[in-house]
Structure 1
């Protein structure tokens, strides 16, 4: 339908418009055989004021509709229908109606029960989801306004989701053969006007890729979720809402595996040599550069010998000046990471705030992967506008002096075909909340920093050796900022300054303090929401628009929870991954999810058809369901145990999970084995007996939860080190 409709709209515009521009565009496409072929298309660019008749412009949100109306007319007529605002603009030859969606108004639905199910259709969201009742009035308004229009303009956000939202509205209420696309990256008057002077045909590849994403997410999600819920119903007779998905489940598996590592962790003791030297009336701590000493006895022998010697010798002293390059402007992932690091914001919160700033025309479109600012942007105009905001007046003035008015931003490596890096538009903020201001400020400062000079840092480092054993080397370092450069504009990355005096090669430096410091091996890294999002980016699953939302879904399903600033899996989350890993492993696989992400990208590039990708997904899913059904009852029992619907006949003596061995569940049994295996290493390092070993690791904060539970209940387990 896409190719046919595309041809029809080109014919329509050519026959009905007074002015046309035919622009041949040559694009190289990769075929499945990896051969490049040449393809020529007609790219239509058209000014909205050249169109004659009734024109309906569809915005994604009411705020965007208001901005578009004000860009197209100084005095648009505000009207209302069913309490939903829309705008009317009249001129000599045409009347333009600017109407709004409320995000997605349609979703996929089936009337069939059970699984597998592959028969589905697009239906109004309010008929599918009771929480989407508000969308009914938007659909009613759009249905009336779109009636008998001569043109339809999709002016929703220029991304895959915006393309689908506008497409479905026109599909159900208008005429695809009379449709155009507006493409913009910010809601400023200047950019909106420019986009409506260069309307193009609908972005069919984006639409097809978006429809495919919705179909894949739906068929994977509904079939696997129904399979899981059906298994619980068979095993326990209980109904429960469970979900799984091609992006959601691999993400949950990642968190579960990291969480299991932490819960089974036992820290090992190690010893570092702590030495302070005296130089120029300064007492300076020096770090031992060798590996930590593993045994207490060996560490004591070394430190006693060093004390007797009383000095170290300077082996090497270096003084260098190095530069720090300015960072590029933010993409969404970078913004989310910085907001988490500096303010502790979740990725979803940061994204939500950024989207509000975009709708207020304060920043460009935030759901972008690009770290590049295009040369077509009027940097000087943006700077002039920012200088009228008190917080940035002095910073902009300094930047223009520093650059001598030559504004050339540093560019990052990541790009996005639809939108540039996030930049401030220069529109003056009004009534921003505290958190909204923090995100806006980050974006402005990062934008300014991208044009600034490198920072210059003076770095000193000294290496000192123990004279009786030159292989034992100690180190101290210091640094001073010589020129702030871009750090003046973006101080959040400012390095800490540390003083270090100068040294001479071969000089003896007096030791004033020497001791042993006992430390422990570090546990696996704590997982938080921003680390989950960055992992999703790195492995190539999800999109800028969906990743933060998927993470929140895992919390809303009670698969994950936040504890003490970190994310951990719930018993239900553990159970979901446990059964899927055993009986349905492909759905937990990053490679399968990434495969379909790559296939959707091929659709967006026009290399592959949506029908092929959907068919491939269905065939894969059918094979998995056949395998799942063979173990359905056992899967249902395991999930019912974790949900507390049924009690295992043989229950773990430490929790409510089913027993695996020694009256322990799989996790506590692994914890028991880990405790036993690690004792020999503790004994070698510390020389402790079994009871001292248990009491020591039980007290340590980094000891895993399941390890502690096993130690606390050794009497129940009835184990002794002689077994």
Structure 2
């Protein structure tokens, strides 16, 4: 029943409590191990190995040990010098990487427990990296034939218990994908890096270590090309013409439709003609109400974009804080590409839990009143087979930092917004013309008539701008004309979030690796 082999593995699910013999549950991080132990039993025993905690759970016929990795405990290494090199093997990271020395005791603990156990559960994050982390521990210290996979998208007790009641075979598709990417990145990186380092030495006799990577190097070239283009940019003068108009004592501004103009002579000609005419004639006036649906729930990329725009966070900071919130069981798994919430999620229960938090109580009450309790979330196009979109679990935050609160608030507000009604915005636009010369000017206004989802997620609300109602053929007094000189600007200096967008557009890197590579 338990001899699940690669390739043709049965899809049978099994509960952890039906296993006979000691079981080792492998978590990806220490906080996750604690959450898993708390979910499996209220009577777990805390033990320690060289200061590293692990958890023991005993029942009549079963012993479960829950222990943690600290990210990747294995890395690729070669004894071969020079290049090309294609001989390599997986080795403990603490043996070959100074910065991973701290991981030794975690691996020793897992190895010790694995020798005492008959079954193994990979309970690392359910993504490619988590699959590889757990698999390599099982491969070198346990038995693949007696190994299982736990799948969960949040560290909420009920979801964790359900996950361990429905263990599946190891997820070899994700394991093989992860191993392949790691090995391909390693082969590409070490050979190109060594070739570059050797080339520099032979050309200059200087020993400089250069680093190249399958994702890192194309990204670096994109940044370098952008900086070169900025450095070579020659600014040129340009001129912007605006006219102040007055109607019924109210002044508003219109822009020349051909802005910016390239020379001061043209700008002066337009200014003189408009001042001479003393009025502009309304050629068109349009008022249009538009409904705007709520944005979809966050995936990691959308969260990184919004956190950069609203909070000024770098992609890596957003990713790290989101992972901290996940480990506190406050949000679902953040490294997801999905813009869809699962139908199985109890939306009303989460909202009622959020209503216990003072700052969200009135918002939840209003949302339930506006929707009449019919909670149907907006969805985006993107999907992820492993995890849904990011959502708050409803657990009450405790002792969050200011930055953690800021990101958590963004996630909660976006979650509320996806259930809310559309916003209604009135757009007005007028085209005015100078008589005889035909010079055209435009002005526009915007007013939020019904806030809808903008009440919950106000970060897309437009600034109110009002222009008076105009009618075709109406003459509007010119109160003044201004010509402003400026210079053409180079492309904006790249921000980290711009680099992330480019990496996604050309499909290099993953949700987990892009932000660290940018740093």
**Aligned equivalent of 1:358, options 326, 349, 357:** 326
The residue aligned with 1:74 is 42
Q: Distance in 2 between matches of 1:205 and 1:133?
A: 30
More helix by share: 1
Partner of 1:9: 3
> Which string of whole-angstrom CA distances, capped at 9 and with x for unpartnered residues, describes residues 519-568 of structure 1?
3223113211000001000110000000001111xxxxxxxxxxxxxxxx
The reply to whether residue 529 of structure 1 matches residue 496 of structure 2 is: yes
In structure 1, C-alpha distance between the alignment counterparts of 2:496 and 2:98, rounded to whole Å: 29
State whether structure 2 residue 284 is matched by structure 1 residue 293.
no
Partner residue, 1:651: none
Distance 2:3 2:259 in 1: 70
Question: What secondary structure, in the 3-state scheme, does the structure 2 residue paired with 1:527 have?
Answer: coil
Equivalent in the alignment of 2:55: 87
TM-score normalized with structure 1 length: 0.70
2:475 alignment partner in structure 1: 508
Q: Which residue of 2 aligns with 1:478?
A: 445
**Aligned equivalent of 1:278, options 246, 249, 253:** 246
Aligned to 1:518: 485
1:217 Cα deviation (Å)? 0.9
Distance in 2 between residues matched to 1:368 and 1:156, nearest whole Å:
15
Q: Which residue of 2 aligns with 1:449?
A: 417
1:59 aligns with 2:53: no
Determine the C-alpha separation between the residues in 2 that align with 1:237 and 1:516.
59
Give 2:186's aligned residue. Answer: 218
How many residues are treated as equivalent by the alignment? Answer: 519
Give a deviation string over 1:85-133, Cα, whole Å, max 9, x none: 1111111221111111011000000011111111000000111101111
In angstroms, what is the RMSD of aligned CA positions?
1.5
Is 1:158 equivalent to 2:126 in the alignment? yes
Write the distance in 2 (CA, Å) between the matches of 1:352 and 1:11: 36
Q: Name the CA distance, whole Å, in 1 between partners of 2:491 and 2:447.
A: 33
Matched ranges for 1:166-177 at <5 A: 166-177=134-145
Q: CA deviation at 1:231?
A: 2.0
8 A Cα contact 1:78 1:85, kept in partner? yes
CA contact (8 A) 2:280 2:434 kept: yes
**Paired position in structure 2 for 1:149:** 117
Q: 2:203 maps to which residue? A: 235
Alignment partner of 1:50 is 2:32 = no
Distance apart, 1:380 and its partner CA: 1.1
Task: Work out whether 1:191 is the aligned partner of 2:159.
Answer: yes
Q: Contact 2:413/2:457 (CA < 8 Å) preserved in 1?
A: yes
3-state SS of 1:180 partner: strand
1:152 CA drift (Å): 0.4
What residue number does 2:279 align with?
311
> Helix, strand or coil for the counterpart of 1:134?
helix
Aligned in 2, Cα 1:8/1:237: closer, same or farther, shift over 3 Å?
farther
Verify the 8 A CA contact 2:273 2:437 in the aligned structure 1: no
Which whole-Å CA distance do the structure 1 matches of 2:186 and 2:5 have between them? 35
Structure 1 residues 572-616: Cα deviation after superposition (integer angstroms, max 9, x where no partner): xxxxxxxxxxxxxxxxxxxxxxxxxxxxxxxxxxxxxxxxxxxxx
Q: 2:352 aligns with which of 364, 384, 389?
A: 384
CA contact (8 A) 2:300 2:337 kept: yes
CA distance in 1, matches of 2:3, 2:245: 80
Q: Report runs of 4+ in structure 1 exceeding 4 Å deviation.
A: none
Q: 1:227-626 alignment to 2 at 5 Å?
A: 227-470=195-438, 472-552=439-519
Residue equivalent to 1:609: none
Partner of 1:697: none
Where 2:310 maps in the other structure, the secondary structure is helix
Q: Could you give the per-residue CA deviations for residues 222-251 of structure 1, whole angstroms, max 9, x where no partner exists?
A: 111111112223333333332001100000
Largest Rg, 1 or 2: 1
Paired residue secondary structure (1:164): helix
Question: How far has the Cα of 1:463 moved from its partner?
Answer: 1.1
Would you say the 8 A contact 1:287–1:475 is kept in 2?
A: yes
Give ranges in structure 2 of 5+ residues lacking alignment: none
Shift in CA distance, 41/150, structure 1 to aligned 2, threshold 3 Å: closer
TM superposition shift of 1:40: 8.4
